[in-house]
Amino acid sequence: MQITIRKAQLGDLRDIYNLVYELAVFEKEPNAMTTSVAEYEQAFSEKLIDSFVAELDGKIIGIALYYMTFSTWKGKCLYLEDFYVQPTFRKDGVGQCLFDAFLAEAKALGAAQTKWQVLDWNEIGLNFYKKNNATIEKNWWNGKIVLDQDNQ
């Protein structure tokens, strides 16, 4: 099996979107995904997001979608927004190759750290990150406000 890890291109965004939807299903939140492929394309064109893709025989089977942010305590931070490999390919090292590409990109961009979220019940994900010497913070809670697009 010959897996290729490469930077995403504009034409990959429909496949990336579909894999993010698969991730939303896995996370038991498919109805929470309200974006569109067009929004992905716009964000990608504006360089708000970037991604690595894992490809097998011309088919994208995994993604690491990320963007640069800034920590007032640490400096530049590469944030891993979505990291997903289709279940059939999870034992083949695809995720590790994508994660390694993401970490290499963070270093190349001069990031001081990387960050992401993982659900507390996702044992496979937690074990993967621990295997990669990640710190899993349990004392910081997420906050958010969903802005109603209709009232703007």
Amino acid in the structure at residue 88: T
With a CB cutoff of 8 Å and minimum separation 6, the contacts of 97 are 3, 5, 54
Among 21, 67, 84, 129, the active-site one is: 129
Nearest to 47 by CA among 66, 19, 60: 66
CB of 4 closer than 8 Å to CB of 54 = yes
> Is-catalytic flag, 66?
no
Backbone angles phi, psi at 97, to 5 degrees: -65, -45
Q: What is residue 117's three-state secondary structure? A: coil
How far from chain centre, in Å, is Cα 36?
16
Q: Active-site residues: which are they?
A: 129
